[in-house]
Structure 1
Amino acid sequence: MRTPYKDEARESNAGAVPKVSNVLDVLDQRVFDLGRAIGVTSLLQSVWVYDRPVDLDGLRQFHDHLQRGRLSRGIEQSPLPFGRHRWVASEGPSDIEFVAPARPREEFDSWLDEQVNTPLDCEHGPGWHLAVLPFTDGGTGVSLVVSHCLIDGVGLCEALADAALGRDVQIGWPAAGSRGRWKALWQDTWQTVRDIPVMGRGVVAAIRLARRSGSGAGAAGAPGSPTTSVTAPAPVAASVAGSGESMAVPMATVLVDADEWDARAQALGGTSNSLLVGLAARLAKRGGRVGPDGCVVVGMPVNERADGDTRANARSSVAVRVDPELATADLREIRAAVKQALIRHGEVPDEEYAVNAIIPLLPKRLLGATSRASSPNGVGSSNLGVVNPAAGRPDGTDADYFAIKVLPHLGLTEAMLNRFGGTQSFLSGRANGRVFISAHSYLPGRVNTNDRLRQDLLSALNDFSLTGAPL
């Protein structure tokens, strides 16, 4: 697995501010450039629910530490059209939004959807937004929406825990524009020269992936093939054109008792992770999102974040083929497949990651066209594992409910979603004695609503004899 740059380091308040490279990792560059090219934004949303009023002073301290932690940065584009972008100090942190008047708790989901549409800009700021909604019954809901360009799920959990514990991650990012144009041109040109060897390897990897895809190996979930390589039924995807208007993709989040979840995984011969993969496959089957052999290819991010890692997205990915019919009766096959995929991932160079090195060389128009042409329908299953308990204490005390929601790419149109064959992805983690499961899903030619997805998700859990409760 790829390791962070050697000069990246992390120190607490007690240490000196470390010197780190502020050049974006190639995956972070890809996430940013691809979003700009096709006009979409990927987000994460942390959600806390208190059955009582929140401690506002504690929440303000939490907000202040977020501003001084891992989220205290933005992206400065290179003056070169093919240059690597850089991390700089954030220019525009947002204030806490205190919503008034109070709303019924039944309107919480709708309010969370409103928060998702808060304008964010990881280049000029703000790249994240914290908001508080009082309930008419005396409880409180809290939302933090953050751009995926700034951080991934694992990094977000660490950022939340650091802020709740009052730990500031001192990096000392340079101010935006501090290099000056000529110095920036020289530095970025030299960086490109240094990147030539990895770019060469990226070209070779791209050719191999293209040949594998053309031969059909990618659709079979071969090593190195896209992890989101599941296509929806072709007749449905082809028959629905769709509008060019941006649309909201349905989302749902449910909570399952952690002991019940573990007991069921053990009874089926699996693990928490293999149970989540099986659940993703069952939900996919309900929408007809299966291959000719009746199987589903489930893509799983692999966390590669290490101590001192300053990447926003420190991950790679693997894919496994799952029979959703067998998943509810026996998880041993899925468990073995996941284990083998991870072993192979550690032994074989990650060609998809290598391809990221050539992204800066592609014109933005070509980058967008390539994405639209090669982004098949995908099923994702991301497991954050056990979340640091401090992440569930934004006001300094334990929230009654906590979850991190996976959010679809904002800016996607119906036409794009139909062309991709739709989308489905899970994000799960364990906190406060519960397993939260957040999903988004869109299936072409079908009724797509939050309520429909929630019912499908609860029904898929029932297939495993599990009971879930909406957040």
Structure 2
Amino acid sequence: MSNVLQPLDQAVFDIERATGTANLLQCAWILPGAVNRRGLEHFHQRLRRDVLASRRIERSPLPFGRHRWVASSRMSDIEFVTTARPRSDFSDWLNEQPGIMLDPEHGPGWHLAALPFTDGGSGVSLVISHCLTDGIGLCDALVNAAGDGDADANWPDAASRRRSRALREDLRQTVRDTPAVGRAGAAVLRMGRQERESAEPTLPEHTGGDEMVVIPRATIFVDAGDWDSRAETLGGTSNTLLAAFAARLATGLRRVTADGLVTLDMPVNERTPGDTRAGAVRDAHVTVDPTSATTDLSGMRTAIKHALMQHRETADDEMALMPLVPLLPRRVLRRMVNVVHGSATRVVSSNLGAIDEAANRPDGTEAAYFAMMWKYPHVTRELLHQGGGILALLSGRLHGRVFVSVFAYQPGHSNDQLPQRLVDTLREFSLTGTVL
């Protein structure tokens, strides 16, 4: 298999390096009893050999060359926390993870930790760089790590190419990429034209500059039967209900267009068997009216179905832009943050769907709760304002529950009380949930 990074993976890494941010995925499990140490150690050892988790990024010797995947020799040990904390502190502890800096280039790229609760039970956290995998890829890695099958990893060792050979190979790769770079230039022109024609709201003046911001995030669990029943009653599907939930949240945060509409970015899984891309997704874009979201999902369902059909049939200018990224200077890459997490009116609504039950057994025992969420540390107020803030939802279903993880920051508005916002928005759909 080729170890050359695909354009999207290269772009995500380059933009992270230019902005100084880190886009992470975090899995959280709540176990009803104490952690089975031997079981979690088995899980950890198998993750170390997983095809996606066992690698790191090695830079090309060419300043404009494509980077490559190589085997990672620097892995973190499991962190078994010895001082128990109340179950009510679990969310705070998750926010404190990882205790070490993750680095997809030098390693370690992920970190596994376990926390005992003073009031019974325990929690487990896995944090991994989004440069290594996306949500679906991570679900596959969890299932493989919980099993006993053969490991798939076979990456070349770091620095295994002589410099002269690396220069020749990467230069040939650059020549092969030339047509894609030309198409990227055309995409830039089209996107610039569309941006001038769009009616984006004016962002308020920002303050704070390089001040670091902790983006509020929260996760809520809903009974899967209740979720599906409500979706059917409203004339929609589980995916439509998630989109409607996202649209209502966006309305409450005033993350809407001038005419009150919400633009949803819905990542569509394109991962195939043996796929080694970190990001094997492409966004479908749909604009919806949130006013009828709580009473009738049929119109939204039709709009989403049309957007997914169009997604399959048309080119994506944002994806076409990716081959151009290695050629851009750092100051330009810093301005591309809106390509990664959208503009001032866009909302990410990502649905992992049904997750294999094996992912719910990190230590070999069945967890009571599982959720996956995004984590976006080291981001400045200036960068968040430049990108128009962020509202992103990540959902999936496992162990009879649907989880919805949200992180949100809207410039110029109050960003407090996100857990209560989730509860209140669920209530709009006549649903109840449990906050993590």
Smaller-chain TM-score range? over 0.9
Deviations 1:412-435 (A, max 9, x none): 112222333321100000000000
User: Are the counterparts in 2 of residues 238 and 419 from structure 1 also a CA contact under 8 Å?
Assistant: no
User: Are the counterparts in 2 of residues 79 and 184 from structure 1 also a CA contact under 8 Å?
Assistant: yes
Whether 1:437 aligns to 2:419 is: no
Give the aligned partner of residue 435 of structure 2: 470
Distance 2:336 2:354 in 1: 37
Q: CA deviation at 1:195?
A: 1.1
Give the aligned partner of residue 255 of structure 1: 221
Give the one of 194, 198, 208 matched to 2:180: 198
Give the one of 358, 366, 382 matched to 1:398: 366
Give the aligned partner of residue 140 of structure 1: 122
- Residues 391 and 379 of structure 1: CA distance in aligned 2, closer, same or farther (over 3 Å): same
Amino acid across the alignment from 2:44: H
Deviations 1:55-76 (A, max 9, x none): 1101100000000012000000
Distance 1:159 1:178 in 2: 26
Amino acid across the alignment from 2:19: I
Deviations 1:214-267 (A, max 9, x none): 232xx5xxxxxxxxxxx5x53xx3233234221210000010000000000000
Distance 1:445 1:347 in 2: 38
| Cα RMSD (Å) | 1.5
User: Are the counterparts in 2 of residues 54 and 140 from structure 1 also a CA contact under 8 Å?
Assistant: yes
Amino acid across the alignment from 2:261: C
Distance 1:117 1:275 in 2: 36
Range 321-330 or range 255-264, more displaced: 321-330
Whether 1:123 aligns to 2:105 is: yes
- Partner of 2:83, secondary structure, is coil
Q: What is the number of equivalent residue pairs in this alignment?
A: 433
Deviations 1:67-96 (A, max 9, x none): 001200000011111000000001211100
Q: CA deviation at 1:446?
A: 2.9
Distance 1:62 1:41 in 2: 25
Q: CA deviation at 1:168?
A: 4.1
Amino acid across the alignment from 2:327: L
Give the one of 98, 120, 141 matched to 1:159: 141
Give the one of 28, 33, 38 matched to 2:19: 38
Q: CA deviation at 1:26?
A: 0.4
Distance 2:116 2:92 in 1: 14
- Residues 422 and 259 of structure 1: CA distance in aligned 2, closer, same or farther (over 3 Å): same
Whether 1:57 aligns to 2:38 is: yes
- Partner of 1:252, secondary structure, is strand
Amino acid across the alignment from 2:403: F
Whether 1:265 aligns to 2:201 is: no
Amino acid across the alignment from 1:352: E
Whether 1:242 aligns to 2:208 is: yes
Give the aligned partner of residue 307 of structure 1: 273
Amino acid across the alignment from 2:46: H
Give the aligned partner of residue 182 of structure 1: 164
Distance 2:10 2:210 in 1: 27
**Ranges of 4+ aligned residues in structure 1 off by more than 6 Å:** none
Instruction: State how 1:453-464 maps to structure 2 within 5 Å.
Output: 453-464=418-429
- Partner of 1:59, secondary structure, is helix
Q: CA deviation at 1:117?
A: 5.8
- Partner of 1:437, secondary structure, is strand
Instruction: State how 1:207-222 maps to structure 2 within 5 Å.
Output: 207-216=189-198
Distance 2:365 2:339 in 1: 48
Identity value in percent: 52
Q: CA deviation at 1:370?
A: 4.1
Using structure 2 for the length normalisation, give the TM-score: 0.96
Distance 2:245 2:429 in 1: 8
Range 32-41 or range 161-170, more displaced: 161-170
Whether 1:418 aligns to 2:418 is: no
Whether 1:21 aligns to 2:2 is: yes
User: Are the counterparts in 1 of residues 204 and 411 from structure 2 also a CA contact under 8 Å?
Assistant: no
Distance 1:366 1:140 in 2: 45
Q: CA deviation at 1:180?
A: 1.9
Q: CA deviation at 1:186?
A: 0.9
- Partner of 1:238, secondary structure, is coil
Q: CA deviation at 1:200?
A: 1.6
Deviations 1:183-217 (A, max 9, x none): 1111100110111122222222222222222232x
Give the one of 448, 451, 462 matched to 2:415: 448
- Partner of 1:239, secondary structure, is coil
Q: CA deviation at 1:369?
A: 3.2
Distance 1:460 1:301 in 2: 22
